[in-house]
Structure formats: C-alpha cells, structure tokens
Structure 1
Amino acid sequence: MSQPLIDQWGPLSALMSPGPEEIARIATPTGSEVWLVRGYSLGRSVLTDPRFSRAAALRPQAPKLNDAQPAADSMMSMDGSRHARLRRLVSGAFSTGRMARMSDFVAQVTDRHLDTVADLGPGTDLIGHLARPLPLFVLCSMLGIPEEDTPLFRGWVEVLFDIDASSPREKARRRIELIEYMTDLMDRKRRAPGEDLLSDLIAVHDRGELSTNELLTLGLTLLMAGYETTTGQIGLATLSLLTDRGVYEELVAHPDRVGKAVEELIRLNPVTPLTFLRVATEPVPLGEVTVQAGEGVVVALMFGNRDAEVFAKPESMDFVSGRGTPHLTFGHGVHRCLGAPLARLQVRIVLEHLLRRFPTLRLAEVEEPVVWKDGLGIRGLSRLQVSW
C-alpha cells in the first residue's frame, strides 16, 4: 500500500526538489530567493507564528513565489483582526452541521455525473465529466449562482488560476468580466434574496458590517478557492487508487474505510504542495537559521506530510487504524482552509460512489489516459480516462 510521490509539478518543479534540510534557501520562478520549509514541525511553526505575515507578502518589495497570488483585499492576504472578522462572517457556511445537511445534495449531484460516465462507457474522462463539474456546481449552489451561469465561471476561474497558459492582459480581462458579473448578480440578489451564502453576505453588507469591496472580494475568494483545488484533489485521489489495484480492491471490499483512506490520499498527494508565501516582519529563529525581516518563507506541505519524524511509514497508506497526527494539506492555524470540510465531503462521496458503482474501475488502455494540467499554481489533471 505504498504510495509514490507523484512527480508532476509543472511550474513548481524547481521548488520541490527533496533534500535533507528541514529548511533551505531556494530560488523561485520570479527570481526571488525564499526559505523553503520541508519539516512538519517547522512548517506548523511558520503557519501559526504571527511574525510570518500574509499581508506583508503582498507589498511591492516583497519576494514573490509566482503571479498566482490572491488580491490584497482577499481574506487569504490578511492578518490579525482584519482576517478574523471576515473569516467569522463565512465560517458558519462550512460548519459540521451544514456539511451534514449538504451530504445528500452532493451525493445526488455525484450520481447524476456518474450516470453520464456510465452512459458514455469505458474510455470516459473522469475529470471532464465528474471532477471538474461537481465542485463548481456545488459551490455555485452554495453561493446562489444560477446553474446556467456555471460554464462562464469555469472559463473565468481557470484563467485566473493559471501561471503560464494565459497573458497578463487575458487575466485582467477575465477578472474584470468576473467582477462585473458578480456585481450585477449581487444587485439582483439584493432585490430578490435567496437561501444562499451571497444573499446572507449582502444582508451583512447592508447592516454596515461589510464594505462593498469586501463583499465582492469575499464572494470571489470563496468561489476561486474551492473550485480548482477540489477538482484537483478528486482527480489526484482517484489516480492514486487506480495506480494501486490492491488498495482499490480493498476499499471495494471494505467501504467503511473510505473516510480514513480520504485523509491518507489527501496527505500523500495534496493538490496544494506549497503554502502561499509569508514574509517575516522581524528576525525569527527557525530551525538552524534565522529568517530576517523582509525574507519570504513557504512551507512544502507535501514533504511535511511525509515527514518520517512524525508519520510512521510515511510513504504508505494507513486506512485501517488511521493516523493520530493531522496532515498539513489544508494548512494550520488561523489561515487553515475554511473549505476543508466541503472538500473532504466531496472527495469522500465521489470515492464511495465510484467504488460501489464501478468496482472494476481502472485506467483506460489508451495511449495517454492521464494528462497533467500545465500552468497552474496547484497540481491537477486535465484528463483521467478510465475503463471498467
């Protein structure tokens, strides 16, 4: 049940070379030099230490990892009380209770897409017919975006996430289109509110607790943060199982172990191998080095999740007893991913339904059944063709 380090990083490949040091100085694709933290414990320290600032990383003179950074007024780019205030406004949407109520809905949408897969027959692409449309439909439903508008969002969001595949001019044009659409949608919801997250946030705005710009940016942040990452994680989790037939067959025989298997799949092959950059606001001792004020730090979540000092047999899956130590894929501390419960829910339901409906699922016998998506700051597949 050993899971290999799936070696596909695209533009991030130069950053992800394994090494013996827990922290090392590396050069980024932008020409900046930053500290790369590979160890689990040091990584948690970075993610919880307020001296490592997300807001400082957006300053013009700060080192840069790539150009796929959130906006300065995004919740992901804030520190302290500003971040806490916005996070508090939306945290209820991802509560355990809300996720439990969404379970049946996600299951229904998953089965609808799997019906399409079954109708299309062997050779079908699971990314295009399941992993990509499912998270977008779920997010749009949560936010209150009309179903007929979801194809527009797919084009907008994918261009904004890529690193190499589109020009700055194209990114700017798509960003403006998306902002114009969201502004119009919020105006419509103000006149006719629904039972959705955007309507709730508009009500908060109208009480004076949220500025117009914060309202718009928060809606875009929730959409963009939850779409491509969940699509990628569904694809990577499925690919991991299909490259180890013994694991897939064991889960078919023991579906009660899928929950623990999801955590191991997310730990071993995270869609986000690196955190966003943080910048030290003062000298901070970190392992055997001192990070000086103004220097950047990124945490290699992939390597932290496979730290042999923390995880016994770190390259193997343990979905029988499970791990006592939480992985870092969703981050740690105040910036821990708000949407983690929703991502877990979707990955778990997809795998449960795949295992039940397609117990003999395997990679299709075609020339190139697996194609990696290029140009993204996160890992993912553009094609995963399967047979059964």
Structure 2
Amino acid sequence: MSPTRYGIGLEGLGPLPGFMAHGEEAVVPVAAPTGDMVWLVRDYELGRLVLTDRRFSRAEAVKPHVPKFNDAQPVPDSMMSMDGAEHARLRRVVTGAFTGRRMAALAPSIERMADERLDRMVEAGPPADLVEELALPLPRAVLCSLLGVPAQDGDRFRDLVEVLFDITASTPKEKSRRRVELVDYMAGLLERKRERPEDDLLTAMIRVHDQGEMSMAELVTMGLTLLMAGYETTVGQIGLSAFALLSDPDAYEELRGRPEALPGAVEEFLRLTPATPVSFTRVAVEPVPLDGVTIAAGEAVVVSLLHGNRDGKVFAEPEHLVPEGRDAVHLTFGHGVHRCLGAPLAKLQVQIVLERLLRRFPALRLAAGQPEPVVWKDGLLTRGLSRLLVEW
C-alpha cells in the first residue's frame, strides 16, 4: 500500500472542537469547554514530556478550584487521578488482566462474539448500521465477560455511561445523579460476587481488597473505571477505524489481499483517527518552561493526542497510512505510567473487527442512497460515530 495514495487529513476527521484548529504554535492557551483557560500542547515530544514529567500532576487536576477542561473528569480515588506510589499501587492490582498472554487467551471468545454479531447482520440483510450492530455491542459484551458483569445489565450500563461522557447535553446535576446510580450498581454487584465468587476480574479484585491492598471505595471505583474507560473509547475507535477503511475502496481491496499488513494498518488507524483527541488534564506544581512559554504553578495543560500523532517532525508524511510500520509510537493511548492499561484489549478488538469485515465482506461499502449514512457523535468527550450505514 503506497503511503502517498491513502491519506486521512484533519478535514476527514469529522467535527472537531474549535480550539483543536487554533494556529500552528506548539503550546497555546485555549478556552476549554468549561470556559477555563488551559494550555494545549500540540507537539509530539512536548506532549510526551507533559505526560511523564512529575511537575505535571494528575492528582492536582481533580482538586476543586483548579482549571477544568470539562466536567467529565475521573473521581479523586480513581487510579487515573493519582500520581506516584498511589497510582502504581492500584495499577498493579489489574495489570495482569491485560498482558499479552491474557489477550491471546481472550481472542477466541472475542472472535466468536464478533462473528455472532456479524451473522445477525447478514441474516437481516443490508443496509446495516455497523455502529449499532457491532461497534456498540461488542466492547460491551467483552468488558462484561472480562469483569463478570451480567450480560442483561449491558443496556442499563450503556445509558448511564453515555450521560457521563457527554460534555454538553447533560447537566452536572444529571451527571452526579448517574454517578450515584453507577456506584450503587457496582457496590451491589461486588457484594453479589463476594457471596458467589466466579472466574472474573471483579472477583479477583475482591480478593485483593480482602487482603487489605485497596479500600472498598477504591474497589468500587476501580470496577467502574475499567468498565467505563474501556467502553466508550473502544466503541468510538472501532467505528472510526471502520469508517476510515471504508472511505477508500482501493485501500479496502488492497488490505483484503494483504492480511499480513492489517496489524500495521490498525496502528495507523489508531494514530490517524484517535477516539480520544486530548489527554486528561495535568496541573503544573511549579513553573515549567515549554517552547518559549512558561506554564505557571496551578495552571492546567492538556495534550492534543491528535496533533501529536500528526507531528511532521516525527511522522514522515503524517497524514498518510503506512501499514509497514513507523519508528515512533503514536500517542493515542497516552504515554508513560498513565498509558491506557486497556490498550491491548482495545487494539485487539479493532483488529478482530477489521479482519472479519475484510474477510467476510469482499464488497463492503458505505451505503448509497440512504439519508445520512454517516452521523458523527456530538458533545462527547470521545470522538466517534452514532451511525455508519453499510451495504455489501
């Protein structure tokens, strides 16, 4: 696949917040959706520095009265809101669930789930909505299976989580009410798991709690963190990757004939069209010079993962897909100690979905003659599609 033939420019990424197109500087002050001023870092190397330098704190970012990027932030007792030893302590609890060996063991069941969804789609016939038929239900089923959440609770969980990730349509009061509902649900589920242990991640976490390595509040939050963080982003990434692939019929046909190139292509889809365009906020704990400006103590910084992934100083021909591989690692899953723990699971699901589509649907294409075959989500913390109509 020629790197000069298949490109995805910023204009092909759907609606982006206005601040994402703010000039060419590497570090710029922007007005966040909350109205607060935050520093936006759009350079790959500077972004990696912000994501790893201890002078930029996640724990400070969730405290009251500091600038907030949006109102969909993790709670303070989430490992995503901790620094140093406290973060490492909680991360160790679940790291083993996402190893390469664990992903290899999970792959057959994920493949089976994907095939079952696609079988239903074929039986119903075209056109079909890939979001509703595949991108939404697959990550939900995978996470429910991994953690031990009853499958029948999936729809309730989806409704609650979508409100929390919505940064414009739902009010802080509504978010607060839904958070309470989720906490109550998880606490009740953990209690049932304690009475009837099973072979799942929540049961394993209960054992860690019983050994005194995490509090009950941390246990509940960890369960919700794994369920929520791995859901909305993976839903978005599957839809975005499928849309990017289907947007170039020649690329679709070429990848069908080169299945060995798919893993590299998946990495490029993740780089070019990330579901999460910006990092979580960090707050400077002391003055930090960055590219000619000084971030003062108490000021907030976010990294544009989308811009870092397209930094021409790091990625040659940055808008072009190069399945043969890149020397640099993209920032879609973050960088450093806070790099997304579930990255291997998300990547595995995207690869399985695209492999199934390429193998089972030689003539898969965007649906013609349908009103709004592609509809973008609006107002969410993560990027994604709410509709992707296809035919075959």
Shorter-chain TM-score: which interval? over 0.9
Q: 1:94 aligns with which of 94, 98, 105?
A: 98
1:369 maps onto 2:369 in alignment: no
| Residue 286 (structure 2) pairs with residue 278 (structure 1) | no
Counterpart for residue 340 of structure 2: 337
TM-aligned CA deviation for residue 116 of structure 1: 1.2
Q: Which residue of the other structure, out of 244, 248, 259, is the alignment partner of 2:252?
A: 248
Q: Per-residue deviation at 1:167? A: 2.6
Deviation at 1:288, TM superposition (A): 1.4
Which of 313, 322, 336 is equivalent to 1:309?
313
Please, which of 131, 136, 143 is the counterpart of residue 127 of structure 1? 131
Q: By how many angstroms is 1:337 displaced?
A: 0.2
> For residues 28-43 of structure 1, what are the structure 2 equivalents within 5 Å?
28-43=32-47
Shift of 1:282: 0.2
Residues 114 and 88 (structure 1 numbering): CA distance in 2 closer, same or farther, change over 3 Å? same
Please say if 1:205 is aligned against 2:209: yes
State the shift of 1:18 in Å.
Answer: 4.8
Q: Give the structure-1-normalised TM-score.
A: 0.97
Distance in 1 (alpha carbons) for counterparts of 2:185 and 2:163: 16
Q: Distance in 1 between matches of 2:177 and 2:38?
A: 31
Aligned length: 385
In 2: Cα distance, 1:67 partner to 1:96 partner: 34
Task: Provide the C-alpha distance between the structure 2 equivalents of 1:375 and 1:27, rounded to a whole number of angstroms.
Answer: 16
Q: Is the contact between residue 310 and residue 319 of structure 2 (CA under 8 Å) also seen in structure 1?
A: yes
Please say if 1:113 is aligned against 2:117. yes
1:300 matches 2:295: no
Percent same amino acid among aligned pairs? 59
C-alpha displacement of 1:205: 0.6
1:357 aligns with 2:363: no
Q: Distance in 1 between matches of 2:35 and 2:159?
A: 29
Contact 2:118 2:134 in 1 (8 A): yes
Deviations 1:60-101 (A, max 9, x none): 121111111111111111111110100011000001110010
Tell me which residue corresponds to 1:216: 220
Q: Which moved more, 1:19-28 or 1:336-345?
A: 19-28
Distance in 1, matches of 2:188 and 2:72, equals 26
User: Partner residue of 1:57?
Assistant: 61
1:7 to partner: Cα distance: 3.9
Q: 1:8 aligns with which of 3, 14, 21?
A: 14
Distance 1:384 1:126 in 2: 5
Q: Which SS does the other structure have where 2:231 is aligned? A: helix
Cα root mean square deviation, aligned: 1.0
User: Would you identify which runs of 4 or more consecutive aligned residues in structure 1 move more than 6 Å?
Assistant: none
SS, match of residue 371 in structure 1: strand
Equivalent-residue separation in structure 2 for 1:178 and 1:22 (angstroms): 39
Q: Mind listing any 5+ residue stretches in structure 1 that lack a counterpart?
A: none
Name stretches of at least 5 consecutive residues in structure 2 with no aligned partner.
1-5
> So what's the TM-score if we normalise by structure 2?
0.96
Alignment correspondent of 2:3: none
Q: Secondary structure at the match of 1:128?
A: helix
